[in-house]
Structure 1
Amino acid sequence: MEKAPESIISEEVAFQNFTNFQGFIEEIYNCIPDKEKKYWTSSWNWGDDELFNLEGSFHMTNQVDLGNFWAWQNNAATWFDDDNPSPTSTDKFRHGLYAHAWYAIRKANMGLANLDLLTSATQEEKNLIEGQLYFFRAWWHFEMMQYLGGLPYVEEVLPSHEKPTLPRLTYQECADKAGADFARAAELLPINWDNTSVGASTLGKNQLRINKIMALGYLGKNYLWAGSPLMVHGAQTGGTQTYNYDEAYCRKAADAFGELLDLVESGQTQYALVEFDYEDIYNHKKTSTAANKYSDIFYTTGQNWLMPGSTEAIFRGPSTDSNGSNWNTTKTFGPKVQGLVEHDNIIHHPTANYVNNYGMANGLPLNDPDSGFDPEYPFRDRDPRFYHDIVFDGFKYINSTMPANMEYLRYTGLHTGGTMRNAADGSRTGYFIQKLVPHTANKYDGAYNWSFNMHTYLPYMRLGDIYTMYAEACAAFGGASGKSSKFSKTAEEAINTLRDRVGAGHVHASYTSDRTKFIDEVRRERAVELSFEGFRFNDLQRWLLLTEYPYNVKTSHEFDRVESDDFYKENDPRDAKVANFREEVILTRQFGTKHYWFPLKIDDTSMYPEFGQNPGW
């Protein structure tokens, strides 16, 4: 298409003042994918945490189970790529991470190369522009690196008419460059844009703007990943290196996280852990004295489409189509039996092996001989997050009026042979998820209807995530008593902060006295706190556990009911007795060393010899 001469804006104009330059950066924000709403039915949990029912076989979750890691490419149904991307579109379906990454990195480099043209600006404005550009250059690289390994780290505007020659760097070489960019961003950016002269004009609407806390969070995450077993020892099977970190990287990670957490806990930021104080935990109803509630991190209802995140979400992209959640995301977590949850027949199922991570209320894991776990009462006295996140047998699923011939579905039948227990339109595993979408998102309660204003969104980083990463980084070099000089809490105290939030028991002394056992508890805490939020695959990958049992299986819990149906109408389902409680394998993932990294696109690896393919692909 021919452009009218008056539509072409010179670089001098585009970059001369804050308003124009910020407009240039806004497109980078627009490119950030929305993991949940990327497609009609989307897929973001690729570890051992969930599986789809049979009709969801085309989703990336199932393709990963099959070992078909090529499936990420040009895939409209996953947030990681797109077959029809558009950086300027506000359509949530048009934004995939890899599809936009190189474009966004080029924009960041163009901005950095033209900082000298920002002549009509205050020093504050210049710092804000520069800090955002450094952050985004690092962030897009880092998000790709997690799945693809070391890449060319592009720090200049590459000539469009010349063949590229930048070699692939090692993961740690890339991490060093990303770390320098994140650190520079942290130096330049404010904690809260609301407290700047620039931000005063958009007061109360600056939550998504890149700030110092985001930069510190990703600085720490970048270094923790660089110090993790996969990045230190290379892809391998056997799991023998899973506890062996690079301590130097982990110390740098701990310092970045420590600085962040010290700012938070001293009240210098807008961030705080969201309360976990429920009057009715099954219905996510907070007490009258609670200022906010845990579920607000993931979804909001009745708040005029308020974007989820509350005081805990640190880094999020835009979510311009708030009701877009209800075009399908909110209809993919519950039973489809008899149209109980409407629309198509796709369901996210939590695996039984992952549900096993939810230990006991006393803080001990289920398999600890002193935990008190009783297979005749498998749902009793569990970690409080179990009751918030997981729908289990006998749970009252429908609160509203139902037709008489549907009453048999009011309470979940998730025991073996139960009313909601089948691979086609019920549960394959004995459970459903309600952490991200409430169980009231069904035909009769109607939480996904317009009048409820339900909006879902998954943050890329939140404060609970930071506490677990801080604990892991400190444990890597100092065990349970490891700590950063920039923060007062030890690794053990950081984990117990999260457990205090939900009312679960502290890490037991038998685990704090042994570094290996403590790291296991940190990892289990991370599994529970961040369940179904899209982090598990990368965790198993970097811990060199992706190929290892029991992380390579997906299982169900099978059991028989002992109680009558009337029991569940009159009693708390957690108190139900069952018989023959057992775990059965649904599938085993046949992974080798090549599965520790996704394959690169053949079109990319064919561009020039230095851009080589990942091993085994």
Structure 2
Amino acid sequence: MKNIHKTLLKSGVLFIMLLGLFSCEEYLDKAPESIVSEEVAFSNFTNFQGYIEEIYNCIPDKEKKYWTTSWNWGDDELFNLEGSWHMTNQVDIGNFWAWQNNAGTWFDDNNANPTSTNKFDHGLYAHAWYCIRKANMGLENLDLLTVATQEERDFIEGQLYFFRAWWHFEMMQYLGGLPYIDYVLPAGEKLTLPRLSYQECADKAGADLRKAANLLPIDWDNTTVGKNTLGKNQLRANKIMALGYLGKNYLWAASPLMKNGAETGGANTYNYDEDYARKAAEAFGELLSLVEGGQTQYALVDFEYDDIYNHKKSSGAESKYSDIFYTTGQNWLMPGSTEAIFRGPSTDYNGSNWNTTKTFGPKVKGLVEHDNIIHHPTANYVKNYGMANGLPLDDPESGFDPEYPFKDRDPRFYHDIVFDGFKYVNATMPADMEYLRYTGLATNGTMRNPADGSRTGYLIQKLVPHTANKYDGAYNWSYNLHTYLPYMRLGDIYTMYAEACAAFGGASGKASNFTKTAEEAINTLRDRCGAGHVAASYTASREKFIDEVRRERAVELSFEGFRFNDLQRWLLLTEYPYNVKTSQEFDRVEDLEFFENNDPKDARVANFREEVILTRQFGVKHYWFPLKIEDVSMYPEFGQNPGW
């Protein structure tokens, strides 16, 4: 995004909307003012693209939005005690109002500024209506684009359709059906637009995304327009992004919540709308056919490690799985590699090290510096990481042994999760700190203080390496550690394709335009990391296979910010065991010498058990966030979500 601004905006005209406040009402009915006239702003490709760049600039950075941030609101994560103000904890106690004007979450911001390059100034809802209006203004002024080739016109139009749908969709996930604004609302006109149903909104978003997919290129670098910014086009909306969101939009519309409405009991958790599911499968199938046919710049990143605990890839691997989430020693290269499909800007790359990279490790004795905020993986969620043979832990044939609970697990477990006896610090330490070199995550261990250690018996290193500590110093300037969470990546597409196909055809379900079945799509991801295929005992039953697809999604996309919406749309948010957060309790049997000379996964433990930390008391109303009171007070047709 930095390169986009430098290349296009310096040579073009930046069209800036002077809207000082950021409520729904102001975006919908105030006439914008501009620095330049419409005839100039929209007259040629460079100027029009400069107008669109501001929309890219508005995309929030989930991880770096604030000094310490919160984006995992499902059953996947828990903060230490000082993080109680974060949205994660507020969701736990049922306070869904907390999404509004919460500095610690990317979803909203009371200080938003669409022209700012400061990562703290961008919240999703705070920018959504503004960007939708901007997209509509662009579409209504396409006739002013008189100095342009057909390719340039198509790319401008495609981006505007894409973003109109994208901002609507991101809001819809949390708020439900909304007015779908597809024209510029005249200033001063009385608002009467009703809230549509979720599926009605999805139909309109789907139409926009289909248009965008037809108009946009696969890779801007391979176009005449893109040659002007060659190598700097990775963040631009393209055909693959549009197809990915087209499929996601229809899969969400197909999901049990959207088909059946909010309810408790979980009776309809497998009850999908098969027509929407087929539409989703076809969109994903179109995308995956292009990818696997070698027609795109996207590919699954390698998962081949000589040292998985330190994320050191094998010499023969072309790419590295961890590069999707963070890069180090690569001159601040933006994470994503060949797998990230949709990302926003991350211009303040070292901003990673003022917040994100210091919020995953233990704060005991200052082992990890900065604010005393720690993201903890819950024990109930870590159970999703099954065995290397592909079976879930609770399968009688899995081979899971509670005396050796870390042995023979799915390889992603060792990449993502820090467990007891893990060598956390590689560098030299003072003698009085040596006791913290290896994690003490057993009950009453050296890192189990709920204030500055782990509340759950685990830590996360998927998104930030464990070497981001005081002694290894990975978060120091010289390491060039840069973090970013993509909004969509290829691994996500494979799981969504499998779910869409399974909804109407079980394990053997498939799209008409892609060769792989739902089962084969899941096994593609397992082949990538070296985990066993879905067992035959889970493919014969549609419901059991859907359970495996959901477990695969939990593991592959762990801690990336998708879990809350998944539990919500599956009608499982209110249901046990998805409404509890637990810790892993056990006694360490091995002595310190064992960990100094052996792999920690081979350690024996005693009394391995789970204990409930909290139970989320959710009802039907918690399937949707409450809308802002100032917004629902604008006019009668814009009503509040039920129960709020």
Q: CA deviation at 1:8?
A: 3.9
Which of 528, 546, 569 is matched with 1:501 structurally? 528
Check if 1:521 corresponds to 2:548: yes
Q: Distance in 2 between matches of 1:374 and 1:163?
A: 66
**In the alignment, what sits opposite 2:196?**
169
Q: Map Cα deviations across residues 43-68 of structure 1 (whole Å, 9 max, x no partner).
A: 00000000100000000000000000
**In the alignment, what sits opposite 1:443?**
470
Q: Map Cα deviations across residues 57-114 of structure 1 (whole Å, 9 max, x no partner).
A: 0000000000000000011110000010000000000000000000000000000000
Matched-pair identity in %? 86
Which of 518, 526, 543 is matched with 2:570 structurally? 543
AA aligned to 2:488 is M
**In the alignment, what sits opposite 1:102?**
129
AA aligned to 2:277 is C
**In the alignment, what sits opposite 1:274?**
301
Check if 1:14 corresponds to 2:34: no
Q: Distance in 2 between matches of 1:564 and 1:433?
A: 24
Q: Distance in 1 between matches of 2:450 and 2:590?
A: 24
**In the alignment, what sits opposite 1:133?**
160
**In the alignment, what sits opposite 1:343?**
370
**In the alignment, what sits opposite 1:238?**
265
SS at match of 2:608: strand
Check if 1:429 corresponds to 2:452: no
Q: Distance in 2 between matches of 1:198 and 1:376?
A: 61
Q: Distance in 1 between matches of 2:605 and 2:354?
A: 38
**In the alignment, what sits opposite 1:158?**
185
Q: Distance in 1 between matches of 2:83 and 2:411?
A: 30
Which of 402, 405, 408 is matched with 2:432 structurally? 405
Check if 1:93 corresponds to 2:120: yes
AA aligned to 1:445 is D
AA aligned to 1:439 is H
Check if 1:396 corresponds to 2:423: yes
Q: Distance in 2 between matches of 1:348 and 1:404?
A: 28
Structure 2 unaligned residues grouped into runs of 5+: 1-17, 19-33
Q: Distance in 2 between matches of 1:519 and 1:422?
A: 38
Count of equivalent residues:
613
Q: How does 1:175-190 map to 2 (within 5 A)?
A: 175-190=202-217
Q: CA deviation at 1:134?
A: 0.1
Q: Map Cα deviations across residues 107-134 of structure 1 (whole Å, 9 max, x no partner).
A: 0000000000000000000000000000
Q: Map Cα deviations across residues 198-252 of structure 1 (whole Å, 9 max, x no partner).
A: 1101111100000000000000000000000000000000000000100000000
Structure 1 unaligned residues grouped into runs of 5+: none
AA aligned to 2:499 is E
Check if 1:290 corresponds to 2:321: no
Q: Distance in 2 between matches of 1:87 and 1:465?
A: 28
Check if 1:192 corresponds to 2:190: no
Which of 590, 593, 600 is matched with 1:573 structurally? 600
SS at match of 2:550: helix
Q: Map Cα deviations across residues 471-499 of structure 1 (whole Å, 9 max, x no partner).
A: 00000000000000110000000000000
Q: Map Cα deviations across residues 538-580 of structure 1 (whole Å, 9 max, x no partner).
A: 0000000000000000000100011111100000000000000
Check if 1:315 corresponds to 2:342: yes
Check if 1:359 corresponds to 2:386: yes
Q: Distance in 2 between matches of 1:227 and 1:344?
A: 42
Q: Map Cα deviations across residues 342-383 of structure 1 (whole Å, 9 max, x no partner).
A: 011000000000000000000000000000000000000000
Q: Map Cα deviations across residues 243-291 of structure 1 (whole Å, 9 max, x no partner).
A: 0100000000000000000000000000000000000000000011111
AA aligned to 1:260 is L
Q: 1:85 to 1:480 in 2, by over 3 A?
A: same
SS at match of 2:586: strand
**In the alignment, what sits opposite 1:532?**
559
AA aligned to 1:530 is L
Q: CA deviation at 1:9?
A: 1.5
Q: Distance in 2 between matches of 1:215 and 1:237?
A: 33
Check if 1:420 corresponds to 2:481: no
Q: Distance in 2 between matches of 1:440 and 1:163?
A: 57
Q: Distance in 1 between matches of 2:523 and 2:107?
A: 34
Q: Distance in 2 between matches of 1:509 and 1:80?
A: 41
AA aligned to 1:427 is S
Q: Distance in 2 between matches of 1:142 and 1:574?
A: 42
Q: Please, what TM-score do these two structures have when normalized by structure 1?
A: 0.99
Q: Map Cα deviations across residues 503-542 of structure 1 (whole Å, 9 max, x no partner).
A: 0000000000110000000000000000000000000000
AA aligned to 1:483 is K
Q: Distance in 1 between matches of 2:597 and 2:577?
A: 37
AA aligned to 1:613 is Q
SS at match of 1:23: helix
SS at match of 1:51: strand
Check if 1:478 corresponds to 2:505: yes
**In the alignment, what sits opposite 1:595?**
622
Q: CA deviation at 1:160?
A: 2.3
Which of 106, 109, 127 is matched with 1:79 structurally? 106
Q: Distance in 2 between matches of 1:344 and 1:467?
A: 37
Q: CA deviation at 1:161?
A: 1.6
Q: Distance in 2 between matches of 1:501 and 1:548?
A: 32
Q: Distance in 1 between matches of 2:276 and 2:150?
A: 33
Q: Distance in 1 between matches of 2:542 and 2:330?
A: 45
Q: Distance in 1 between matches of 2:508 and 2:449?
A: 47
Q: Distance in 1 between matches of 2:315 and 2:493?
A: 28
Q: Distance in 1 between matches of 2:275 and 2:242?
A: 20
Check if 1:70 corresponds to 2:97: yes
Q: Distance in 1 between matches of 2:612 and 2:445?
A: 19
Q: Distance in 1 between matches of 2:36 and 2:526?
A: 54
Q: 1:556 to 1:8 in 2, by over 3 A?
A: closer
Q: Distance in 2 between matches of 1:71 and 1:182?
A: 31
Q: Please, what TM-score do these two structures have when normalized by structure 2?
A: 0.95
SS at match of 2:309: helix
**In the alignment, what sits opposite 2:23?**
none
Runs of 4 or more above 3 Å deviation: none
AA aligned to 2:322 is S
**In the alignment, what sits opposite 2:25?**
none
Q: Distance in 2 between matches of 1:494 and 1:69?
A: 35
Check if 1:30 corresponds to 2:57: yes
Q: Distance in 1 between matches of 2:539 and 2:455?
A: 36
SS at match of 1:140: helix
SS at match of 1:282: coil
Q: Distance in 1 between matches of 2:66 and 2:576?
A: 32
**In the alignment, what sits opposite 2:360?**
333
Q: Distance in 2 between matches of 1:290 and 1:283?
A: 15
Q: CA deviation at 1:440?
A: 0.1
Q: Map Cα deviations across residues 2-28 of structure 1 (whole Å, 9 max, x no partner).
A: x9xxx8421111101000000000000
Q: CA deviation at 1:163?
A: 2.5
Q: Distance in 2 between matches of 1:218 and 1:209?
A: 14
Q: CA RMSD in A?
A: 0.9
